[in-house]
Amino acid sequence: MPSPDSELNRDRQVPDSKINDSDKDLLERVKANDTGAFSILVDRYKVKLFNLIYRMLQNREEAEDILQETFLRVFKERERFDPTYSFSTWIYTIALNLCRNELKRKKKFRFFGLDLIKDDRRYAVEKTFGSGSLSAVLEKAIASLPEKYRTAFLLREVNQLSYEEMSESMGVPLGTVKSRVNRARFMLQGQLSPKIKEHYEVSKSSPIPLWLL
């Protein structure tokens, strides 16, 4: 007995989507309203994007909303996607723009005296890790980076985009992207070095030689 989805697609003569299909192939099927193909795309990108968006916004619910909005945009604008570009760059561009707008909106709240951002940052990090762990220290340090450095750092270290992809999705020249990533790494090193030292002094079984720090 055919599943409801394949029943739906039979009329359109679209072959079943495969997990291994390329993003662009899947998007072609999404254009023919194949929700199965869309689900595969969602599964392929949701964790990557969520890790980026969550770290940008520092609030889980907002991050999920923005993640959802990203995919909704992809679906709405599916006809407008230019296949000469990479799908990955496109979806990152959408997500980054939504993040940027959301941060701007939050800044406006802060302007009116509702300081939501700081609270979000503190609670997000401590809720997840507890305040002492190395991960918490690292997440705090990332959260404290200025927005443009944070974006660059996350796209590179978390999402592992190439500098070329980053340049395209951030809309910033290649050289600028590279220098932002480098700046961000040194900023983090500056914040982390004393904390790492502290951390390994407390837990004596340090795998890293202390003289390095």
Q: Which residues bind another protein (CB under 8 A)?
A: 35, 38-39, 42-43, 46-47, 50-51, 54, 63-64, 67-68, 71-72, 75-76, 108, 128-129, 134-135, 138-139, 157-158, 163, 181-182, 185-186, 188-189, 192-193, 196, 208, 212-213
- Write down the least CB distance from residue 84 to another protein, Å: 25
- Write down the least CB distance from residue 86 to another protein, Å: 20
- Write down the least CB distance from residue 24 to another protein, Å: 20
Closest CA to 90 of 65, 69, 68, 73: 73
- Write down the least CB distance from residue 185 to another protein, Å: 5
In the complex with another protein, the residue whose CB is nearer, 21 or 157, is 157
In the complex with another protein, the residue whose CB is nearer, 50 or 116, is 50
In the complex with another protein, the residue whose CB is nearer, 22 or 189, is 189
In the complex with another protein, the residue whose CB is nearer, 154 or 170, is 154
In the complex with another protein, the residue whose CB is nearer, 66 or 96, is 66
